[in-house]
Chain A
Amino acid sequence: MYPKAHRTIHYTQLKDLPPDNALCREWNTYRRELPRLLEEGNEGKVALVKGDEIVLICENWDDAVTEGYRRYHRDGFMAKPIHEQEPVFRVPFYF
């Protein structure tokens, strides 16, 4: 299950991932496609992203991760809950 967060920011405020992040391509794909995904009524669903492609829209996190492992094993994929208001996790003061 995906953790809950009580704060959110609008998706347009999402930051870039560092170029050395293994999910940089998938993150950019998600951000590029997000307006369309929201327009198509996918709020709350989970996108399975591989490289430059949104491969599948799943109903929940577990389905997306299960399908990701089935298709790509440990070869790298991103499961991303689709939200206009992106959850922001509160972390300890020393981070």
Chain B
Amino acid sequence: MPHFTLPISHDGLTLPVIVGIGDKDRQDLESTRQPLPSAVITRGLLDQGSDITVVAPRILSILGLGSLAAATTQGVTGSAPVKLFEVGLMLHGLMPGSPVFELPQCVVMEAPHPLPNVEVLIGLDVLRKCLLVSDGPGGQFTLAF
């Protein structure tokens, strides 16, 4: 099973994430011969407290994405409507050549507030597709997919 192992950082289970446009958007842009926006390399946090993956507005803006849907969320401050987008996600380790966990189309929510030291929260929607082993005493975690 492909996997990578990363240290547990001060912010938690963080990892490099590449966010690009989703497959359907890419196919449409290609069919109309429009330029494809470059993917954005950023930092993500694995967050089992979120049902859905969350992306900072800055990244969605760089990719030029429009929201595809509205949804309702429930946080401690109550329920609120949020915008949903479809992106492509790649999660990878720090070592060159480490395996890449690729999701060519993933429905994500725009972060309604700034995220602490990261720009992506990887939620349960993604974590349900992989095996996560957290080695607290060893100060590292492994993601297998």
Contact = CB atoms under 8 A, between A and B. Distances in A.
Interface string B14-40: 000000000011011100100000000
B72 interface: yes
B107 A87 contact: no
Contacts of A95: 73, 75-77, 80, 111-113
B24 A66 contact: yes
Given A2-B107, A91-B54, A92-B121, A21 B70 contact: yes
Interface of B: 24-25, 27-29, 32, 47, 49-54, 64-77, 79-83, 86, 105, 107, 109, 111-113, 116, 121, 123, 125
Interface of A: 1-7, 9, 14-18, 21-23, 27, 61-62, 65-66, 68-70, 73-80, 86-95
